[in-house]
Structure 1
Amino acid sequence: MIVITTPTGQIGGRLLDILLNEAPDRGEELRVIVRDPGKLPDAVRARVDVVTGSHGDAEVVDRAFAGADAVFWLVPPDPRAPSLDTAYSGFTHAAAKAITAHGIGHVVGVSALGRGTPVAGRAGHVTASLAMDDLIAGTGVAYRALACPSFMDNLLRQLASIRDDGVYTDTAAPDRTAPTAATRDIAAVAAGLLLDRSWTGTGEVPVLGPEDLSANDMARIMSDVLGRPVRYEPRSLEDFRAGFAGRGLGDALVEGYVNMAYAKNNGLDDGVPRTPRITGPTTFREWCEQVLRPEVQA
């Protein structure tokens, strides 16, 4: 039995699609934890065991982990969390206890690049995510943290600006190159680990896209694919902070995003050499053709 959290999210939803295709042939049963089962298609609900509720709730994870061998773990964003520790490790404490209580054998979690870099200890959400990894690993379960860079799919948050104004923004220097990854590639790596549980111990599995690109590179590729000009406009960290604060986020979470952006601009994602084993297949151009362009045209 494999338990999947966030089955309607960008990564969890894609993971569920993969496992629905592959798990039955391997004799694997699937269980999902979801706040609103109505968000799952009827055909999916008919093929999985559904536990309704939040996977931060002790009673919910206790029910969901009973009889399971493997868990996909992803902490959802919580704009109301009073601290980053609460948002990540605090949310995960109940699951850590349930992992031990139910003898879960394997856990695959979504985390971030940066461990061991000079800025890892002051990287906001990334620092909190790495502490969450340590909490899960401390249970003694076989654990793999998917160490991810920024997601290509995050650009969909700026869909209106890209479509209507031909502009996207970030805090990165225009010509500074960095890795990105497509969420579908992250889901594919998670699926492989969950279906072949021959691995033991704890560790990280970086998931990188095929190339490092700058913000200007990405604007050029978007322009080519969309057939219209798209330009990059860098934002200061102060403007970045003000933008998050205007969304009603708590101070701790806002500072977490600012510190993460600062850390990424100072080498947080640069410490892992790209190898075939940790490189996903989706290029940024392919992602733009297959994901961004249909969204813009819609």
Structure 2
Amino acid sequence: MIVVTAPTGNIGSQVLAHLLDSGEPLRVVARDPSKLPAETRRRVEVIEGSHSQQDVVLRAFDGADRVFWLVPGDPRAASAEAAYVDFARPGCDAMQRCGVKQVVGISALGRGWPKEAGHVTATLKMDDLVASTGVAYRALACSSLMENLLRQVVPIRDQGVFFCSSPADFKLPFCATRDAAALSARLLLDRSWSGVEAIPMMGPEDLSGNDMARIMTEVLGKPVRCQEIGTEDLRKTMLGRGASAGMAQAMVEMFVAKNEGMDHLVARPAPNPAPTGFRQWCEMLLKPVVEA
């Protein structure tokens, strides 16, 4: 039995799509099962509720040997540690009590960074908590997700601009959620692996904001530029959108760490489990959304 958490989210829904025709019994944990397609609901067992709740995860993990673990973003949590580590405690307890064997989780690059890094620091603490249960664990250490740009479709479409909190010429790795989902599904269908390992998820090349603007301009056929914003402006934007002070601070700390080189601590793996390039992603996802 495979359990998929966050099955209606961007990554979880793609993981579930990969697994539906595998022949494996599937169970999902969904706060709002109505968000699942009707055909999917007919093919999986649904546990309604949040996987932060002990009664929910105990029911969900009962009889399961493999779990896809993803903590949904919560900008209103008191802190990043509350959003990730505290959220995960009931699930980790249930993994132990129910005898789960393998867990695949969505994590972040940054292991070994010596300073506070907000969301990344909390995510890595969550990884340690999962690993402490004794399960075999694969943490997909994602660089910044290309899909985050979809939050800026309106300014890209209407003003030809997107905003970034790194210097416009500073190169960083990015990855597409489709690659994280595909690898997660492959791992969940493979019972042979054991131990604890982080797998860096870094697209085929590092890109600056200016690089991304050039590629978007070429793919969209209209001028697009990158507008750098400072971390304090980022904080104000988050607070204005309803984020807690703790989560706004966590976002600032994460970007400060990225801008100081945190994402360059590890080399891009070979073969690369995140092969989708930014141009391909723009053609597949960004362009259709901008033109819709």
Give the superposition deviation at 1:117.
2.6
CA–CA separation in structure 1 for the residues paired with 2:287 and 2:92 = 40
Residue in 2 that maps onto 1:245: 239
Q: Is the 8 A contact 1:205 1:278 kept in 2?
A: no
Cα deviation digits, residues 161-206 of structure 1 (max 9, x gap): 0000000001111111111000000001111111112111111011
Whichever residue aligns with residue 98 of structure 1, its letter is A
What per-residue deviation string (whole Å, max 9, x for no partner) do you get for residues 73-113 of structure 1? 01011222112221111000000110010000000111100
- In the alignment, the residues of structure 1 paired with residue 75 and residue 281 of structure 2 have an alpha-carbon distance, to the nearest angstrom, of 28
Three-state SS of the structure 2 residue aligned to 1:131 is: helix
Letter aligned with residue 261 of structure 1:
F
Structure 1 residue aligned with 2:202: 208
**Amino acid in the other structure paired with 1:296:** V
CA contact (8 A) 1:216 1:231 kept: yes
TM-score normalised per structure 1: 0.96
Tell me which residue corresponds to 2:6.
6
Q: What are the superposed Cα offsets for residues 251-296 of structure 1, whole Å, 9 maximum, x if unpaired?
A: 1101000000101101111112123333412110000000000001
- Number of the residue aligned with 2:262: 268
Q: Are 1:194 and 2:188 matched, yes or no?
A: yes
- Look up the SS of the partner of 1:143 in the other structure: strand
Contact 1:208 1:280 in 2 (8 A): yes
Question: How many residue pairs are counted as aligned between the two chains?
Answer: 292
Taking the TM superposition and a 5 Å limit, the aligned residue runs for 1:200-239 are 200-239=194-233
Partner of 1:41: 37
CA contact (8 A) 2:200 2:269 kept: no
Corresponding residue of 1:76: 72
1:124 aligns with 2:118: yes
Q: CA deviation at 1:145?
A: 0.7
CA RMSD of aligned residues (A): 0.9
- AA paired with 1:4? V
Aligned counterparts of 1:80 and 1:38: Cα–Cα separation in 2: 24
| d(CA) in 1 for partners of 2:156, 2:291 | 11
Unpaired segments ≥5 residues, structure 2: none
Superposition pairs of residues 43-192 of structure 1, within 5 angstroms:
43-119=39-115, 122-192=116-186
d(CA) in 1 for partners of 2:162 and 2:90?
A: 39
User: Quick one: which amino acid aligns to residue 47 of structure 1?
Assistant: R
Amino acid at match of 1:200: S
Aligned-pair identity in percent equals: 55
Q: Which runs of 5+ in 1 are unaligned?
A: none
Runs of 4+ off more than 6 Å: none
Structure 2 partner of 1:278: 272
The answer (yes or no) to whether the contact 2:108–2:143 under 8 Å persists in 1 is: yes
Amino acid at match of 1:168: F
SS at match of 1:278: coil
TM score, norm. by length of structure 2 = 0.98
- Residue 267 of structure 1 aligns with an amino acid whose one-letter code is G
SS in 2 for 1:275: coil
Cα deviation 1:210-249 (Å, max 9, x = unaligned): 1111110000000000000000010011111110111121
Instruction: Please give the secondary structure, in 1, of the residue aligned with 2:47.
Output: strand
Distance, in Å, in 2 between the alignment partners of 1:280 and 1:295 is 22
* SS of aligned partner of 2:285: helix
**Secondary structure of 2:263's aligned partner:** coil
Structure 2: how far apart are the matches of 1:247 and 1:160? Answer: 16
Q: Distance in 2 between matches of 1:277 and 1:90?
A: 35
Hey, what's the Cα distance between the residues in 2 that align with 1:15 and 1:7?
8
Residue 204 of structure 2 contacts residue 272 of structure 2 at CA under 8 Å; is this kept in 1? no
